[in-house]
């Protein structure tokens, strides 16, 4: 069952809050943050000097929610399973594309095996 945009925005913001709290130990009110009481501009201002890959991924999820492309695979344009989004609301690829690209990445960038002696 597909969850509403509001529910998914709250899930993304909860993940973002938890990550920022763990990584940077900020003292923000969780409910105000997670309930979406901050505009995207206010959110950007709060995160301006706190940037890492996870923040960028979650910020991208908020942008996709805003543009209406949240839950759509960036590679094949198919729907991303709700179960996958429940685990990671910043998920950008469907299960099939995730497996395909991770397999391609491993094959392309795998370290050479040491010869057996």
Q: What is the pLDDT of residue 75?
A: 94
Q: What is the pLDDT of residue 109?
A: 53
Domain ranges of the chain: 5-109
Tens-of-pLDDT digits for all 117 residues of the chain?
A: 578 999 999 999 999 999 989 988 877 888 888 888 878 788 888 888 777 899 999 999 999 999 999 999 999 999 999 999 999 999 999 999 999 887 766 555 555 555 555
For residue 62, how far is the Cα from the chain centroid?
8
Q: What is the pLDDT of residue 116?
A: 54
Q: What is the pLDDT of residue 1?
A: 57
What is the second-level CATH architecture of the domain 5-109? Up-down Bundle (1.20)
Would you state the structure tokens that stand for residue 40, as one six-digit string?
A: 């995207």
**DSSP count for the chain of H helices, then E strands:** 6, 0
Q: What is the pLDDT of residue 50?
A: 79
């Amino acid at each position: 069952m597909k969850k509403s945009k509001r529910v998914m925005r709250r899930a993304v913001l909860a993940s973002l809050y938890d990550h920022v709290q763990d990584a940077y130990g900020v003292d923000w009110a969780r409910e105000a943050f997670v309930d979406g009481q901050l505009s995207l501009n206010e959110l950007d201002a709060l995160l301006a000097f706190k940037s890492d890959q996870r923040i960028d991924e979650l910020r991208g999820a908020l942008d996709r929610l805003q543009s209406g492309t949240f839950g759509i695979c960036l590679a094949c344009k198919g729907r991303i399973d709700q179960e996958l989004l429940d685990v990671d609301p910043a998920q950008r690829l469907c299960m099939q594309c995730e497996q395909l690209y991770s397999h391609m990445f491993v094959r392309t960038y795998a370290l050479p095996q040491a010869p057996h002696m």
